[in-house]
Chain A
Amino acid sequence: MEPILELQGVTKKFPKFLLKDVSFTLKPGYIMGFIGANGAGKSTTIKLIMNLLRRDGGEIRVFGLDLLRHEHEIKNRIGFVYDENHFYEELTIKEMKTIIAPFYQDWDDSVYKRLIKDFELPENQKIKDLSKGMKMKFSLAIALSHHAELLLMDEPTSGLDPLIRSDFLGILSEVIQDEKCSVLFSTHITSDLDRIADYITLIHEGKILFSMGKDDLLESHALIKGEKSLLGPELSKYLVGYRENQFGFEGLVKNKEELQPLLTGRAILERPSLEDIMLYCTRGNAACSD
């Protein structure tokens, strides 16, 4: 199956930041969580995919098409939700939709009206008077009303309170099941992805540390707790990162299946969260990319 999104060796240089050799693929119908700390390069990568930034090297293919040569066609099939509102604040929801809709070849007004109704958005209200949660719902309605095959979401939940965030994610997971489109969901709030992601890609300081299935990632890694005497050459090849404390140490290990028999009860292994994996991979020596 041809990837719906493919980045190969993408590079972008800024005076104080380098996005280096970014490569990953997203298959049709899957949701990829794109995680990393603030400033890791998530938004830069998404802007490169949208051609808002010009890349210095590498290749980006969307729907199997070269981004630069087929930009117009590709954008017709992409829906986007950014972390900030970029709609014209002085316009009403209705006016904004009137401006945007004709640019999309496959705009479906019946889908739009259903979403506006489901999201309880007041069509005659100016965008500047909407709450952040409502603005995000409006972005989502626009993104989903032209039968997009790929949704690009750049930290859509940042700045939303927990209730609205949960609401937003609920709507998104429902809608995605119906629409059967692929999603690249960038966030530093990893708990957002527990419910919805199939794949996880971690970026740190402009480099991709790993890109793999979420279940494989959680199954192959484990949180380890044990005495300091365990910290030796035997464990070091499995250890992604660790912290010492007064009782011993706590860390993250990879290749859990292989390690488990070697420990013979000398340490406790627990299932990690995505946040644990992100924290240890980015704080430690980043050995999790192997």
Chain B
Amino acid sequence: MFRLILKDFLLQKKMFLFMFIYIFIFSIAFQNSGDYQVTPIIVAVSYMFLMAGCAWEDKNNSDVLLNSIPISRWKIVAAKYVSLIAYAMVAVLGYWLFKTVASIVGFSGEMSPITWEGVAGGLFGVGLVSAVYLPMFFKLGYLRSKSVNFIIFFAFFGLIGLLPKILPKLFPVKPEWVTALDAGEFSTAFIGAVLVGIIVLVQVLSYALSVRFYTRREF
């Protein structure tokens, strides 16, 4: 599986330049996000790498090659999911490098330090978006899932912005757990554990669906 992830990185050497452009744009766009400034950067960069990796598979019609060598289909699927963690790490490293260089050259924008909360938020975000996209990719292939992906990507960022307006309308009376959350009655560890539980569950379900779709694909 490591070789499949390595392959994705080798194919995307040129994307590292784009990564720093993304980081620059997102650093300006989210410069008042404090601890969470790194969050959208992780989501955007990881997603960019994931999508580009999927595009290369399509361009090279590589499913024929991958399914002709002795490797199980579930491993091919798993490699895409595991690679997300690698992409997220690259995004964090890229942010740190950019922040270091920015501070040396006197970049006027505000760049927050990397926090655990910010990184966790990024992993949660990319975990959520990829969990929706990857089953479609393994079912439909890159080209057909591309338009769906376009909608998901912008819906994700749009929804985050709209949530403060939509939620009060959907829930005129605040649920008890939200009131408790506002009042700070839950510990950070508890909230973290719940979020980890949610994302692990979503990822496991998404992976199972992807494996089911991919094992039925014909090439």
- A residues less than 8 Å from B71 (CB atoms): 72, 103
Flag if B70 contacts A52 (CB, 8 Å). Answer: no
Flag if B62 contacts A84 (CB, 8 Å). Answer: no
Flag if B218 contacts A53 (CB, 8 Å). Answer: yes
Indicate if A47 sits at the interface (CB-CB under 8 A): yes
Closest CB in chain A relative to B31 CB, distance in Å: 35
Interface of B is mostly: loop
Q: Which of B1-34 contact A (CB under 8 A)?
A: 3-4, 6-7, 10-11
The residue among B6, B56, B68 with the most chain A CB atoms within 10 A of its own CB is B68
Indicate if A91 sits at the interface (CB-CB under 8 A): yes
Flag if A90 contacts B11 (CB, 8 Å). Answer: yes
User: Which among A52, A88, A90 is the interface contact of B219 at CB below 8 angstroms?
Assistant: A52
Flag if B67 contacts A50 (CB, 8 Å). Answer: yes
Flag if A89 contacts B60 (CB, 8 Å). Answer: yes
Complex Cα–Cα for A273 and B69 (A): 36
Indicate if B151 sits at the interface (CB-CB under 8 A): no
Flag if A103 contacts B219 (CB, 8 Å). Answer: no
Flag if B60 contacts A47 (CB, 8 Å). Answer: no
- B residues less than 8 Å from A95 (CB atoms): 10
User: Which among A47, A72, A88 is the interface contact of B11 at CB below 8 angstroms?
Assistant: A88
Flag if B56 contacts A88 (CB, 8 Å). Answer: yes
Interface size on A, residues (CB 8 A): 27
Q: Which of B104-156 contact A (CB under 8 A)?
A: none
- B residues less than 8 Å from A50 (CB atoms): 67-68
- A residues less than 8 Å from B69 (CB atoms): 75, 100, 103-104
Complex Cα–Cα for A86 and B60 (A): 6
User: Which among B68, B216, B218 is the interface contact of A75 at CB below 8 angstroms?
Assistant: B68
Interface string of B195-219 (1 = CB under 8 A from A): 0000000000000000000001011
User: Which among B10, B11, B62, B218 is the interface contact of A52 at CB below 8 angstroms?
Assistant: B218
Interface size on B, residues (CB 8 A): 22
Closest CB in chain A relative to B88 CB, distance in Å: 22
Task: Decide yes or no: A102 and B218 within 8 Å by CB, A80-B68, A88-B60 being known contacts.
Answer: no
B61 nearest CB neighbor, chain A only: A86
User: Which among A54, A86, A102 is the interface contact of B3 at CB below 8 angstroms?
Assistant: A102
Closest CB in chain B relative to A62 CB, distance in Å: 12
Indicate if B159 sits at the interface (CB-CB under 8 A): no
Interface string of A13-53 (1 = CB under 8 A from B): 00000000000000000000000000000000001001111
Complex Cα–Cα for A100 and B6 (A): 11
Interface of A is mostly: loop
- B residues less than 8 Å from A84 (CB atoms): 61
- A residues less than 8 Å from B56 (CB atoms): 88, 90
Indicate if B72 sits at the interface (CB-CB under 8 A): yes
Indicate if A249 sits at the interface (CB-CB under 8 A): no
Task: Decide yes or no: A99 and B6 within 8 Å by CB, A50-B68, A88-B11, A89-B59 being known contacts.
Answer: yes
Complex Cα–Cα for A135 and B68 (A): 17
Closest CB in chain B relative to A158 CB, distance in Å: 16
Interface string of B159-171 (1 = CB under 8 A from A): 0000000000000
Complex Cα–Cα for A80 and B70 (A): 12
A87 nearest CB neighbor, chain B only: B65
Indicate if B64 sits at the interface (CB-CB under 8 A): yes
Indicate if A119 sits at the interface (CB-CB under 8 A): no
B67 nearest CB neighbor, chain A only: A52
B60 nearest CB neighbor, chain A only: A88
- B residues less than 8 Å from A89 (CB atoms): 59-60
Flag if A82 contacts B64 (CB, 8 Å). Answer: yes
Complex Cα–Cα for A70 and B64 (A): 19
Indicate if A220 sits at the interface (CB-CB under 8 A): no
- A residues less than 8 Å from B67 (CB atoms): 50-52
- B residues less than 8 Å from A255 (CB atoms): none
A80 nearest CB neighbor, chain B only: B68
Interface string of A87-123 (1 = CB under 8 A from B): 1111100010011101111000000000000000000
Which residues of chain B have a CB within 8 Å of any CB of chain A? 3-4, 6-7, 10-11, 56, 59-62, 64-65, 67-72, 216, 218-219
- Return 28 A-B CB contacts under 8 Å, by A number: A52-B64, A52-B67, A52-B218, A52-B219, A72-B70, A72-B72, A73-B70, A75-B68, A75-B69, A76-B70, A80-B68, A86-B60, A86-B64, A87-B65, A88-B11, A89-B59, A89-B60, A90-B56, A91-B10, A91-B11, A95-B10, A99-B3, A99-B4, A99-B6, A99-B7, A100-B69, A103-B69, A105-B70
Per CB-CB distance, the 9 closest pairs between chain A and chain B, nearest first, are A86-B65, A75-B70, A52-B219, A76-B70, A86-B64, A99-B7, A53-B218, A103-B69, A88-B60
